[in-house]
């Protein structure tokens, strides 16, 4: 039986390096480039929904 893929519903910024933000999924622990996260949100969001972006703080 396959485990369903995490949709990364909650993320936090864990690092910034050379202008690139890295975020961590609070559900599965995966760390990835914030731009990659934004791309995933855009691909999975219905056309009427605006993607939620991590805070820039």
Give the tokens for residue 29. 């622990």
Q: Which pLDDT does position 48 carry in this prediction?
A: 54
Give 49's DSSP letter. Answer: S
Query: What would the pLDDT profile of 1-57 be if each residue is shown by its tens digit?
Result: 666 788 888 999 999 989 999 999 999 999 999 888 777 766 676 665 555 555 554
Q: Is 18 left (phi over 0), alpha (psi -120 to 50) or beta?
A: left
Alpha helices by DSSP H, listed for 1-57, are 34-44
């Amino acid at each position: 039986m396959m485990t369903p893929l995490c949709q990364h519903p909650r993320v936090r910024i864990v690092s910034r390096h050379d202008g690139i933000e890295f975020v961590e999924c609070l559900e599965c622990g995966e760390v990835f480039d914030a731009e990659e996260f934004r791309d995933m949100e855009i691909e999975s969001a219905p056309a009427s929904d605006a993607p939620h972006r991590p805070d820039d703080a």
